[in-house]
Amino acid sequence: MSPRERFVPLDVYLGTEHLGTLEGAGPSRVRFTYDEDARGRFADGTPLLSASLPVREERYSNSECKPFFEGLLPEGAIRDQVANQLHVGRDSTYHLLAALGADCAGAVVLLPEGAEAPVEADIVWLSEDELAERVERLPRAPLGIDPDEGVRLSLAGAQDKLIVVRTPGGRFGQPRGGTPSTHIIKPNPERYPHLVENELFCLRVAQCAGLRTARAERIEIAGRASLLVERFDRSLSGSGHMVRVHQEDFCQALGVLPTQKYEDDGGPSIRQSIDLIRGVSSAAAADTLHFIDSLVFNFAIGNSDSHGKNFALVYEPVGVPHLAPLYDLVSTRVYEGLTPALAMRIGGASDPAEVTLTNWDALAAEAGLGRLAARVQDTTARIVRCVEAQLDAARAEGWHVALLDEIAEVVATRAEQLAVDRAVQT
């Protein structure tokens, strides 16, 4: 097999629109070029595929485009398992994208040069037993990938999850051949008990507090609790067909590799994230405030894992980005063995126990914002009220567990920490 045959160029689409070509310059090296039609339809500098890859005539080198394309792939142990299942190297960015690129996060579709995406939806519909079996075998078949059935798709992250299509009537299936998925199933892991209830509770509290979040619900599959998350990067067209909505996380938008998603590893800081929002968002002022409120929320619930891949931009319409709904909201503080260090430092502090209103005002000064102390306290007070309301709702709905009370204690402690600091300031 010649090198040319081993690295067949991949056509890169946004939905059904051809944008350009991704070439493999080696297993771990890629390069991307916008095609002439795309350059003709969009002005130079348009953040079309990514804020880090604006439209231009020159080809993007490996170092320039790899962070975006790497960001489409699974991470950690899941990446290892996928690579083993597909018999490719875990560091082979090109081969993993060639195998999995037919259904990625956002509207990105990668297909072998000249290949046509299926026109009709191709879905393997699942019985209850078949769905349960696929959930149970996730440690061996991550994301539900099954090359024998043509189920090849990709989603970033390191948690076990099953990528599915769900009808309004509740029927589940697995997409094949590039058919868009609509939902993500995240079963409760053994390592982190009640993670499903943790995330659902945090999402509900965030919604109550006025934050935009992904939609989710708790379901049981063969008696095992799972979180069913509706993908915000999918939408129904006027004709009733599921279409892809483009999105990218902050690491992709800033040209940062997924392995560097934490600020201490070279990943996005709060200042860089705010600068990104100001630079590209179509609603920069509102999105900046929403981002600040989300930082306060993650601090309050004890989520130290709110890194650059857990914030995203949605491009709707095409080429017009704005802040995406929040997702992966979890209190990490309630689990032993997880680092308490913040993924993004707040006013120079990485230890949440040391964060005061002074740190929030230092952050505001650094980012060119007005003082944040009053907003932080108002937001925190609203979160405290919402925690109590959602605890009552969880009890009424029958999914309350003791872990939720532990999250409530974390929120109360963090709120008191800021209240004491405020008293000292005044």
Contact between residue 303 and residue 213 where contact means Cβ atoms under 8 Å apart:
no
Per-residue tokens: 169? 């009537």
Distance between CA atoms of residues 63 and 189, nearest Å:
35
CA-CA distance, 383 to 306, in Å (whole number)? 17
Burial profile 233-255: b = 16 or more Cβ within 10 angstroms, e = fewer: bbeeeeeeebebbbbbbbbbbbb
Instruction: Please name which of 362, 91, 398, 106 lies closest in space to residue 244, comparing C-alpha atoms.
Output: 106
Tell me which of 11, 233, 249, 305 is the catalytic residue.
305
Q: Is 111 helix (H, G, I), strand (E, B) or coil?
A: strand
Catalytic residue list contains 305: yes
> Whose CA is closest to 28, among 89, 108, 119?
89
Q: How many CA atoms lie within 13 A of 376 on its CB side?
A: 29
Radius of gyration of the chain (CA): 22
**Catalytic residue annotation:** 305
